Amino acid sequence: MRLSGLIARRYLVSRSNRNAVNIITGISLLGFAVGSFALIVILSALNGFEALLFDVYNDFHPDLKASAVEGKAFTPDSAAVERIKKLPELAHLALTLEDNAVLQAGNQQVICTLKGTDSNYLNYSGIGRHLLQGGSLEPYPGISGVILGEGIEYRLGVHPGAADLRISAIVPRRESVSIVNPEINKLPLLHSGTMRMDDEINNRYAIVPLHYAENLFERYDERSSIELFLKPGADLERVRGKLEEALGKGFIIQDRREQNKALLHMFRTEKWATFAILCFVLAVISFNLTGALSMLVIEKKSDIHTLHVMGAQPTTLSAVFLKEGLLISGIGALLGMTLGAVLVLLQQQIGFIRMDSAIVPYYPVALRFSDVLLVGAVTLLMGFLSAMYPALQVKKHL
């Protein structure tokens, strides 16, 4: 160990008297520990919510989705669809048709997005794992069922299987020319299931059979999208290339992250904004370290002079206090990050912080090694910057 490091360690661990410098140093170390602890816990909580919501959205959205560049619907090429169906990586292909509609139950009306699809879509998309009750798009022969988002169900005031209160879907007819008083299509539905997912999905979407959507929207040969669900371990980029080759130009092909780009951007912005605020708090805490080291320089003035007379260079003496700052911030960061990581891992394994009436029973957290490295690097940087001013003041005491 170099001389400066040895002296810095001795200054840190060999103090026998309890004076103001020791107290402020202890407060500085505790401040770094608390700051790094808070960073680890809060970043892990944001990671947990991000992972939870993307799991929910991944259950709702397909692995790959192809939609028209222009217009809300297109007429699919049957030959291209058949080529796509033959891909070995494909588990299920769904042709969907969706548009906005008004759902009416009694005197209650709600504007939502009706998504028409086949009955297998519920299983391959993962929506089936989020059904509270019911779940069939054709509960009885010849009767179309609707699976409502929980928010839509609440606003309509209905429940699955209610025989005394039927639901109707209402849309303007395509050939209607009057904007003020358009002709409408109004078709009946039976509430056959409820899904609980994210609030945006719960308050926006309702799932109906494809043939019902065709009749309601009067788009018998048109579709809104081609949705692909792949087998586990499938090469997504290879399938994307095959899909582009089969469909040609005029289509937008998106994976799950691209379908949720706005959500991903929101979480990234929230995470880094929170990180910046906590780093600012940590920077304020680090001023304690600057004060403690400045007082230590004054206290050790005679030692500094003695070492200089014995041949120690000014840079070596300055390095003593730089390393002292790194030791204090590093030990504080190690303590804080260790406690934070232990708390997060306990929450992951035991779940002692609960969430009532939520998608999951326990508060979601996710510890990422990259966050640990980042917090450690930022804390050490704060310690280094806090020690620079006291280290530069050493030359004044020579």
Q: Say how far apart CA 49 and CA 45 lie, in whole Å.
A: 6
The pLDDT value given to residue 1: 46
- Of 53-57, 250-254, 365-369, the poorest mean pLDDT is in 53-57
Tokens of 182: 């358009």
Q: Per-residue pLDDT for 3 more than 80? A: no
Question: Higher confidence at residue 313 or residue 82?
Answer: 82
Nearest to 208 by CA among 63, 55, 99, 76: 99
The pLDDT value given to residue 206: 94
Partners of 188 in beta bridges: 168
Partners of 194 in beta bridges: 133, 148
**Helices 314-349 and 3-13: angle between axes, nearest 10 degrees:** 60
Q: Which amino acid is at 164?
A: D
Place of tokens 């989020």: 130
The pLDDT value given to residue 305: 67
Q: Per-residue pLDDT for 153 more than 80? A: yes
- Of 58-67, 241-250, 385-394, the poorest mean pLDDT is in 385-394
The pLDDT value given to residue 14: 56
Q: Say how far apart CA 217 and CA 187 lie, in whole Å.
A: 10
Nearest to 101 by CA among 170, 200, 184: 170
315-362 pLDDT tens trace: 777 777 788 888 888 899 999 999 999 999 999 888 788 876 666 778
Strands 108-117 and 205-209, sheet pairing: parallel
Q: Binning pLDDT at 50, 70 and 90, where does residue 10 land?
A: low
Classify burial at 64, counting beta carbons within 10 Å of its beta carbon; exposed 0-12, middle 13-18, buried 19 or more.
buried
Q: Say how far apart CA 170 and CA 217 lie, in whole Å.
A: 9
Phi-psi region of 106 (alpha: psi -120 to 50; beta: other; left: phi over 0): left
Mean residue pLDDT across the chain: 84
Average pLDDT estimate for 6-24? 63
Helix (H, G, I), strand (E, B) or coil at 149: strand
Average pLDDT estimate for 155-172? 78
The pLDDT value given to residue 309: 66
Kindly report the number of other CB atoms within 10 A of residue 172's CB atom.
15
200-213 pLDDT tens trace: 889 999 999 999 99
Residue 46's alpha-carbon distances to 43, 50, 180, 220, 305, in angstroms, are: 5, 6, 47, 44, 51
Q: Per-residue pLDDT for 397 more than 70? A: no
Give the list of residues 6+ apart from residue 181 with CB closer than 8 angstroms, or none. none
Q: Per-residue pLDDT for 90 more than 80? A: yes
Per-range mean pLDDT, top range of 9-18, 26-35, 318-327: 26-35
The pLDDT value given to residue 39: 93
Burial 35-63 (b: 16+ CB within 10 A, else e): bbbbbbbbbbbbbbbbebbbebbbbbbbb
The pLDDT value given to residue 180: 63
Average pLDDT estimate for 21-40? 84
- SS3 string, 15-79, reads CCCCCHHHHHHHHHHHHHHHHHHHHHHHHHHHHHHHHHHHHHHHHHCCCEEEEECCCCCECCCHH
Domain boundaries along the sequence of the chain? 3-57+263-397, 62-256
CA 8 to chain centre: 42
Tokens of 223: 């579709």
The pLDDT value given to residue 37: 94
Question: Higher confidence at residue 14 or residue 66?
Answer: 66
The pLDDT value given to residue 225: 93
Torsion angles phi and psi, residue 375, rounded to 5: -65, -45
Tokens of 324: 């002292």
Residues 66, 225 contacting (CB under 8 angstroms): yes
